[in-house]
Amino acid sequence: MNKQAIQFFTTILILGSAAAAHASDNAAVVFPAEGNKTCNDYAANSLVLQMGTTSPLAAGSLIGTENPRDADTTGEAATYTISDGKIVGFNASTPIDYALLKSGRNIAFVIYPSGGVFEDANMKLTVGGVDQPISAISLCYGLGNVAPTPPETPPLTIPSCDALNANGGLDGVQIMCPANQARSIVYNFELEQPFYSRTGSPIACVCNSAPLQECNPNVAYDPNNLANNACPRPADNGKNGVEVTTHIELNNDPYTCYTIGGTRACFYY
């Protein structure tokens, strides 16, 4: 969030005495506050814009001034809903940097990640364990924050066991792959180590095969668009996806389970 734009006023943060808790699907952080605050109490007047209502309905719309920092020039608007008078959701035409929910003098100051969000849901203002009826909503926008570009990372692979053996093995364990055998995947979990990996190195390797490339299990196979890198696709070995998925589970309770062909077995360690 733009540090020059957001100004926190510690005098309105009632972190302990109000015994307040808040919820939101998309917030980065939510602060409790108190009083009759508006968007420009938390950001520079020259930047922040506001749309809201002090008489919310079960469902309604909000109209706001054009955000000069977004892509369009058609003005801004949002729709909102309030379930049971206490649970708020919204969809907006411009990124919302933060929102204010009010119930009497209690306020939830809902701060969104850098770049803002176009929607949120399950927004609540809870005091003393009780969800409060929402008496006003303000959506605050126009700061012009830009979400950071995530660093580019190379696709993950399951490497060849032979290649790993030349560099210390699979997490320190040497894997002997039989020659002239079918491909096989070998997993090694260090049961006493965090996340079951002693060094952060790969926990699997493949025998008698080139490295296996990462794919996307959430897209459908399209023979005319192999660039989408779908995981479900016809295999060269005749498998056609009719088998039940095999699952391997590890739990720090500690026990491990596997489910093969629909049958699950578990083992304490």
Q: Where residue 205 falls among pLDDT bands split at 50, 70, 90?
A: very high
Contact 120, 101 (CB under 8 A): no
- pLDDT category of residue 252 using cuts at 50, 70 and 90: confident
Would you state the pLDDT for residue 240?
A: 65
pLDDT greater at residue 37 or residue 19: 37
Average pLDDT over residues 132-152: 86
pLDDT given for residue 53 in this prediction: 96
Q: Residue 173: its pLDDT value, please?
A: 85
pLDDT at 10 over 60: no
pTM recorded for the entire structure: 0.52
Residue predicted with more confidence, 239 or 144: 144
- When mean pLDDT is compared across 16-25, 31-40, 87-96, 163-172, the lowest value belongs to 16-25
Residue 269, pLDDT score:
86
- Top-confidence residue, 149 or 103: 103
Q: Which residue has the higher pLDDT, 96 or 23?
A: 96
pLDDT higher than threshold 50 for residue 4: no
Mean pLDDT of 151-161: 81
> Quick check: 258 and 245 in contact, CB under 8 A?
no
pLDDT, residue 147, reads 67
Q: What is the mean pLDDT of the chain?
A: 84
> Taking 70 as the threshold, does the pLDDT of residue 34 lie above it?
yes
Q: What pLDDT, in 10s, does the model give residues 45-87?
A: 989 999 999 999 999 999 999 999 888 888 899 999 999 999 9
Confidence of residue 150 (pLDDT cuts 50, 70, 90): low
- Contact between 209 and 162 (Cβ < 8 Å): no
Paired residues of 71 in beta bridges: none
Query: Is the predicted pLDDT of residue 107 greater than 60, yes or no?
Result: yes
